[in-house]
Structure formats: C-alpha cells, structure tokens
Amino acid sequence: MSESIARNPAAKRKSELRKMLLEARKTACCAPDAAAALGARILDILEHYAPRVAAFYWPLTGEFDARDALAEWLSLDARRQAALPVIPVIGTALEFHEWAPGMPMKIGHHRIPEPESARVLVPDLLLIPCVGFDGDGYRLGYGGGYYDRTLAAWPGAVRPATVGVAFEACRINDLPREAHDVPLDAIVTDAGSYMH
C-alpha cells in the first residue's frame, strides 16, 4: 500500500473495495443476459442525451464491451461520431481520438488499444467504466484519476454528460468520497438506468 493511501482513510477503503468489486464484476460479466441488457441501456441513454460525439472505453477484463452498441448507434446517423480515450502522457488528462468499427488500432499506455488516428474530438457524452458505484451516482474506478483530471481540465464552459457503465452486482450503499469526487449524471447497469 502506498504511503498516500495509508494516510488517507477514504483512499484506503476505496482500495479495499476495489479488490472486492473487481471480483464481483468478474462474476457478473459472465451472466448470460448481462451484455444484451447493458447494450440496450447504452443505446437508450445515447438516445436520451442525443450527443453528437460519444466517447467510450476499450474494454478491460471484466468490463462491458460497448463497441457493438456504439457501432449500432453510429450506423443510425452519419453525423454521429465516437471516440476512445488516449493517454498522451501518463498522469495527464485524457484526449479522445476518433473511433469507427474496423479502424486500425495501436497499443497505448497501460497496454490499452487506442485508435491509430490522431484526430482529436471533444465529446458531448462520456461512457465511463465503473469498478463500483453507489446510489448517489459516485463511481469507483481503478484509482488512476484519469477521468477526474480530464473533467477538471475540460475545455470550454460546458462539460460532457457523464454516464457510468457497471454491473448491478457492483453497486454498494455508499462509496467513501474525497474532495475531488464528483457524481456522474447517470449510471447504466444490466438491471437498470439511474439518472442523477
């Protein structure tokens, strides 16, 4: 455990919860109907917010794979665009590079695929992976702080709609909160959609 976590009770509790919730997510992602339910809810939330540019994430182990849902959303209107996060430098805010199905990819930081295209887009909506979440819309991520830094440094006055993507099995009563934590606008799971 890092010294900063040892001195911060909320960070220590988050670290402990993260381990437990990653295990719960690993089990939940194997449920037979979970992927179809989450895909449908993502399409519904995209319809609700009607973004021009939607950013999502490349799926890591246990995360819902939103690529099919985004490909379907893109196919319904040629004016729509999708983007994936790119880490230009470790520890800095994310950039979002244009993505389309079949686009060439390369391996980026943390061994996460990212578009070879360097076309930067500014999303109206972010689909953000959650390790866990609570009823007030707070999210537990991996602890790297990339989305926190990105939203804090967002260009322009209007920040994007933030939508967490999670499995219902990863919902807990309340997450420990730190000063920089901000609730998401909505969370979609295999069991429902929660607007905040």
25: annotated binding-site residue? no
194: annotated binding-site residue? no
Pairing of strands 125-129, 53-55: parallel
All residues at 6 or more sequence positions from 25 whose CB lies less than 8 Å from its CB, including other chains: 62, 63, 131, 166, 167, 169, 170
178: annotated binding-site residue? no
| Rounded-to-integer distance, Cα 177 and Cα 10, Å | 6
Pair 183, 128: CB distance under 8 Å: no
DSSP state at residue 170: G
Pairing of strands 161-165, 186-188: parallel
Return the SS3 of 138: coil
145: annotated binding-site residue? yes
156: annotated binding-site residue? no
Six token digits for residue 184: 């998401």
Six token digits for residue 75: 């196919």
| Rounded-to-integer distance, Cα 175 and Cα 168, Å | 15
119: annotated binding-site residue? no
18: annotated binding-site residue? yes
141: annotated binding-site residue? yes
91: annotated binding-site residue? no
16: annotated binding-site residue? yes
147: annotated binding-site residue? yes
Which segments are annotated as binding site for substrate? 63
Which segments are annotated as binding site? 14-18, 63, 139-147
Which segments are annotated as binding site for ATP? 14-18, 139-147
